Amino acid sequence: MPFPIKTCVLCGEEFELKPDKPGFANRCPECSAPDAAAEPGKPAFDAGGIKADSGLNAERRRVMRDMLYRKDS
């Protein structure tokens, strides 16, 4: 049985979707190779990114609290 033919969302090239292909199912092997070769020892977020996310999370918590506990008049 032949493998399904997919089109890469990044470069538009057609490729065969094989069972053990690394990367994303909608990207060709050439386009998904840089993502698979990311440095394993490097953290996903740097310290500045985590600090910025904590502010967003605090705002999300405030909005959810206001939505859940507001009094409908």
For residue 37, what pLDDT is reported?
52
Q: What integer pLDDT is reported at residue 61 of this predicted model?
A: 92
pLDDT for 39:
55
Residue 5 has φ and ψ, to the nearest 5°, of -95, 125
pTM for this one?
0.42
Nearest-angstrom CA–CA distance, 33 and 41:
18
Confidence of residue 64 (pLDDT cuts 50, 70, 90): very high
Three-state secondary structure string covering 30-71: HHHHHHHCCCCCCCCCCHHHHHHHHHHHHHHHHHHHHHHHCC
Contact between 16 and 28 (Cβ < 8 Å): no
Domain borders along the chain are 1-42, 45-73
Chain segment 14-59, per-residue pLDDT in tens: 988 888 877 788 888 888 776 545 555 555 555 555 556 778 888 9
Instruction: Please give the Cα distance from 22 to 33 (Å, whole number).
Output: 8
